[in-house]
Amino acid sequence: MIFSENFDVIVVGGGHAGTEAALAAARMGQKTLLLSHNIETLGQMSCNPSIGGIGKGHLVKEVDALGGAMAAAADEAGIQFRILNSSKGPAVRATRAQADRVLYRQAIRRRLENQPNLWLFQQAVDDLMLDGESITGVVTQLGLKFSARAVVLTAGTFLAGLAHVGLASFQAGRAGDPPSMSLALRLREMQLPAGRLKTGTPPRIDGRSIDYSAMMEQSSDTPLPVFSFLGNAAQHPRQMPCWITHTNVSTHEIIHGGLDRSPLFSGVIEGVGPRYCPSIEDKVVRFSTKESHQIFLEPEGLTTHEVYPNGISTSLPFDIQIKLVRSIKGLEKAHITRPGYAIEYDYFDPRGLKNSLETKAIRGLFFAGQVNGTTGYEEAAAQGLLAGINAALKTQDRDAWCPRRDEAYLGVLVDDLITRGVTEPYRMFTSRAEYRLQLREDNADLRLTEIGHRLGVVDDARWAAFDAKQQAVVHEQNRLHAVWFGPSTSSNSLPETDALRVLGKTIERDCSLHELLRRPDISYANLMTLPGAGKGVIDPLVAEQVEIQAKYQGYIKRQKDEIARNAHYEATPLPQDLDYTTLGGLSSEAQQKLNQHKPETAGQAARISGITPATISLLLVHAKRGFFSQKKKKVNESGDTAR
């Protein structure tokens, strides 16, 4: 039957990508339907119970700056908060929270249920409805037909998912959930380029069977960090510590004894796993000289005893899993509540996507999350948000949007995916961002909230808070530029004791407060203790912003110059229907790569591996020549023979 309501946007899947996509589209006023095979698991954290970390925390803040749910939900569910890299500089500083799974799910569910324009429906999707090369809707397991102008597919690891424990394997979306077999089959039939990836989880342990006395405790930082720009520490539930223990030589012997029954080492698993998140058997084999590996025992929540032992993801047979866990200090009597497993799943080559995350092959069909070859909740949420925004824009007949590489980690993520594709599950690292110094957690709102407001995903409350902060920053910056100190002979001189105390030396020429703040070893707080420096701002976020912007001014300017130099490449569109083998002067390697990728701009083309600056020059020439021939045609039509 055909469902009575028509939708603007349908989102398939209720994980971190799907929920952000649905919320974003609905926030933008579009009538949105979220289809999930199980409403109970909306916002489920299927793997480790934590949000954020290096690079990932940056993504969470960006999602938040664009009005997304992840940061706010983490603030409501986080039971241990830490700031990583706090001493290494503001750009690589990152927030991470251990989350109570139940509280997190509830926080997401509440937002979904209360979001205007958003409909929830529980049904697995089996098929897509197409009209030529455009999407028109989806068909569910029961044969219900839902129509929409845009569909966002966020199927996670569910597409033809195959879980492995030892040499036994079973079809699953994740442990306890059925996979999407018919949809996977249908998508494969559409000839979208697909591949196979693998990921894994560790066995879970009953906390009552753990002896923590021999382990190192790791508590939340003080003051308690906060994720959302609109959040505060009072929202956090009771905090719990994590614990650190290690594998040992006998653990490694046990693992070696089980390798003959490992699906990873016996060739049963075909999918490629991530190098940065290897299974414990992988670590032991590849780094055989290392006698010990670190394990973080992370609490799964306030209302459960289950513990997630981060660092021993494995697909070894269950009898080995028990032995290896019990060989670890403090886990001698551990009771495993769920076996660890590896899962293989279909992903689609992200080089088949536009930077809006719309597939190049099917108009109106968007892909987000793990189906694009990424891993991680944060990567999924960020893509979901972007796909949701663009699906909404599409149905509003507005231009698509994607942040540039210098604007957001989200821009880096999408650009990497569509220009380079993936060879393993893609995870964000700060080293992937060439403009790292300006893509910081602290300025995610300054980078994105205004754009989000224009797009319609940022509500008035967030906008007002942002606007106030931004004005406070500018106001304080202007004030710092206006307050001057002179040398000891001048009328506005500093008392020598104060100068030595704060600046380490006396002032030799006229200096504004702002200039003084630019010096590497002078903090804002300290500077404000100078007599005549004025009161300064109280809001620590405003003070932080003023200080970082002053200190990093030189670096940021250099990066901005570089961005300006490359801007014209990003602004030069390339035709999508061009056969590059017809272009003279290109090497056959370049022709082949350009035909495979069909980059949207000269800038994207430049980032495809193996495409040289000379090739880009040629593309500019051809782009211009196309313009010429059009112009010439017009001139000829008007009967003018100017040439």
Q: Which residues bind other proteins (CB under 8 A)?
A: 48, 54-55, 84-85, 87-92, 274-278, 283, 286-287, 290, 293-294, 296, 310-311, 420, 429-434, 436-437, 520, 555, 564-565, 567-568, 571-572, 584-585, 609, 612-614, 617-618, 620-622, 624-625, 628-629, 632, 643
Q: Report the SS3 class of residue 580.
A: helix
Spatial strand order of the sheet with 78-84 comes to: 50-52, 94-99, 78-84
Q: Which is nearer to other proteins, 565 or 634 (CB)?
A: 565
Dihedral angle of Cα 379, 385, 386, 389, to the nearest 10 degrees? 180
Kindly state the smallest distance separating residue 287's Cβ from other proteins, in Å.
4
Tokens of 565: 């130099």
Q: Beta strands of 444-565 (E only): which ranges? A: 484-485, 511-512
CB of 94 within 8 A of CB of 6? no
Cβ at position 311, least distance to other proteins in Å:
5
Compute the least distance from the CB of residue 189 to other proteins, in Å. 32
Among 58, 73, 153, 84, smallest CA distance to 379 is for: 58
Please state whether beta strands 216-218 and 242-246 pair in parallel, antiparallel, or not at all (unpaired): antiparallel
- The burial of 571, by beta-carbon neighbours within 10 Å (0-12 exposed, 13-18 middle, 19 or more buried), is given as exposed
Of 2 and 571, the one with the shorter C-beta distance to other proteins is 571
Token pair listed for 93: 């500083």
- Specify the residue, 91 or 546, whose C-beta has the smaller distance to other proteins: 91
| DSSP per-residue letters across 161-214 | -EEEETTEEEE-SBTTB--BHHHHHHHHHTT--EEEEEEEEPPEEEGGG--GGG
Dist. CA 199–CA 482, nearest whole Å: 56
Host H or E run for residue 142: none
Question: Cβ 247 to other proteins, closest distance in Å?
Answer: 11
Q: How far is the CB of 472 from other proteins (least distance, A)?
A: 25
Comparing CB distances to other proteins, the nearer of 493 and 592 is: 592
Nearer to other proteins, 222 or 629 (CB): 629
What are the DSSP calls for 219-236, one per residue? ---SSPP--STT--GGG-
Task: Provide, rounded to whole angstroms, the least separation between the CB of residue 504 and other proteins.
Answer: 13
Output the smallest distance, CB 81 to other proteins, in A: 15
Asked whether the bond before 495 is cis by omega within 30 degrees of 0, the reply is no
Nearer to other proteins, 474 or 621 (CB): 621
Q: Which residue's CB is nearer to other proteins, number 130 or number 502?
A: 502
| Contact present, 158 and 345 (Cβ < 8 Å) | yes
Q: Which two tokens stand for residue 296?
A: 């973080």
Using CA atoms, how far apart are residues 188 and 194, in angstroms rounded to an integer? 7
Nearest distance from C-beta of residue 459 to other proteins, angstroms: 33
CB of 294: closest distance to other proteins in angstroms?
5
Least spacing, CB of residue 440 vs other proteins, in Å: 10
Token look-up 């290897």 returns: 278
Nearer to other proteins (CB atom), residue 18 or residue 271: 271
Round to whole Å and give the CA distance between 375 and 383: 11
Nearer to other proteins, 170 or 287 (CB): 287
- For the bound state, the minimum distance from the C-beta of residue 359 to other proteins, rounded and expressed in Å, comes to 24
Query: Is the CB of 468 or the CB of 571 nearer to other proteins?
Result: 571
Instruction: Please choose, from the candidates 177, 60, 66, 35, the residue with its C-alpha nearest in 3D space to the C-alpha of residue 463.
Output: 66
Judged by phi (left if over 0) then psi (alpha if -120 to 50, else beta), residue 341 lies in beta
Q: Report the residue number, 9 or 79, with the smaller CB distance to other proteins.
A: 79
